[in-house]
């Protein structure tokens, strides 16, 4: 099968993360994590709009808010805040805090977060200083409107990829530091997850050492797509067998996350990073076409 990898124009982010396809605006939202940057790639205009969140250091994720076209939930440190942004201006502002986690662990920060198919929040934390790959101070949470954050998992290293398969009744989760993908049983009506099992192990794929799994998505056939932070590759995997179906090669090493988008939801958008002075095109967002697969659009957060 032949696929094509192309750079999205002017899409650079030093630590690109959190791609989210918004159907209503036919736009891909993503963040520049360590500079409080939020970005919107307008598909029709083939143009990226970039903003910085005033007074913040981090923007770990960006989730459009249901029925509020200029409001977004963004991870800023340990707070999930509501940010006002028109999708065009170069500055965005925090209007309020939705909730906070681990308030006593100031050296931690939120990392990846997404909405489940019902618009609930799922996301987690990680250490923000020292050797982040050898610390397990994070937690994974769920949250829904009117409630408090609910800890799903403790002793998390780097809380990362999240994906749901409603047909299989599964929730997939990546803790980067464990080099594996977990599958939980998922109850869509309550949001509860249980019985985690390892379904994909990235320790032995490369002879030079373990790969670090990062962001993740699923397609409509139930396959998962796993970005590798030190592998230059997105793996398409059958989660029932753990078999690699395809290695999607990206022309830079630090692959951070993936999301399907485009008018037909058949373009795989891939964010990357430029940490520790990588050569170009590190930090570019790419689009992969010709995969003969479709995914699911991002879901707005219900608050």
Per-residue pLDDT tens digits for 14-73: 999 999 999 999 999 999 999 999 999 999 999 999 999 999 999 999 999 999 999 999
Query: What pLDDT is attached to residue 204?
Result: 84
Query: For the chain, which residues make up each domain, given as ranges?
Result: 4-289
**Secondary-structure class of domain 4-289 per CATH:** mainly beta
Q: How far is CA 270 from CA 52, 66, 80, 189, in A?
A: 21, 25, 24, 30
- Which residues are identified as catalytic? 214
Q: Is the pLDDT of residue 244 over 90?
A: yes
Structure tokens at 17: 């993360």
Selection from 48, 36, 50 nearest residue 81 by Cα: 36
Name the least confident of 91-105, 203-217, 246-260.
Answer: 203-217
Q: Is the pLDDT of residue 239 over 90?
A: yes
- When pLDDT is averaged across residues 143-164 and rounded to a whole number, the result is 97
Percentage of residues of the chain with pLDDT beyond 90? 96
79 marked among binding-site residues: no
- When pLDDT is averaged across residues 176-202 and rounded to a whole number, the result is 97
How far apart (Å, rounded) are the C-alpha atoms in residues 80 and 121?
10
17 marked among binding-site residues: yes
Average pLDDT, the chain: 97
139 marked among binding-site residues: no
Beta strands at 150-156 and 159-165: parallel, antiparallel or unpaired? unpaired
Q: Is the pLDDT of residue 208 over 90?
A: no
109 marked among binding-site residues: yes
Query: What pLDDT is attached to residue 1?
Result: 66
Beta carbons of 3 and 286 less than 8 angstroms apart:
no
Q: Can you give the pTM of this predicted structure?
A: 0.97
Query: What pLDDT is attached to residue 206?
Result: 86
């Amino acid at each position: 099968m032949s696929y094509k990898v192309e750079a999205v124009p002017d899409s650079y982010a030093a630590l690109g993360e959190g791609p989210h396809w918004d159907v209503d605006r036919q736009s891909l939202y993503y963040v520049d994590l360590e500079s409080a940057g939020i970005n919107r790639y307008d598909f029709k205009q083939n143009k990226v709009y970039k903003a910085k969140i005033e007074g913040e250091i981090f923007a770990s994720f960006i989730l459009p808010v249901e029925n509020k076209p200029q409001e977004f939930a963004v991870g800023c440190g340990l707070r999930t805040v509501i940010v006002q942004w028109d999708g065009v201006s170069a500055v965005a502002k925090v209007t309020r805090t939705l909730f906070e986690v681990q308030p006593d662990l100031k050296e931690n920060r939120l990392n990846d977060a997404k909405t489940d198919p019902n618009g609930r929040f799922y996301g987690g934390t990680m250490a923000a200083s020292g050797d982040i790959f050898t610390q397990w101070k994070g937690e994974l949470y769920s949250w829904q409107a009117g409630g408090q954050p609910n800890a799903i998992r403790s002793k998390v290293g780097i809380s990362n990829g999240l994906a749901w398969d409603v047909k299989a009744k599964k929730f997939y989760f990546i803790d980067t530091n464990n080099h594996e993908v977990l599958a939980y049983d998922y109850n869509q009506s309550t949001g509860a997850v249980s019985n985690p099992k390892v379904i994909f192990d990235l320790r032995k794929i490369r002879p030079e050492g373990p790969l670090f799994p990062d962001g993740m998505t699923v397609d409509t056939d139930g396959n998962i797509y796993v970005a590798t932070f030190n592998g230059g590759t997105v793996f398409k995997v059958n989660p029932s067998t753990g078999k690699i179906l395809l290695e999607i090669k990206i022309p830079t090493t630090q692959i951070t996350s993936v999301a399907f988008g485009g008018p037909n939801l058949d373009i795989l958008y891939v964010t990357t990073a430029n940490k520790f002075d990588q050569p170009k095109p590190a930090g570019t967002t790419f689009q992969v076409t010709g995969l003969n697969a479709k995914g699911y659009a991002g879901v707005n957060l219900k608050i």
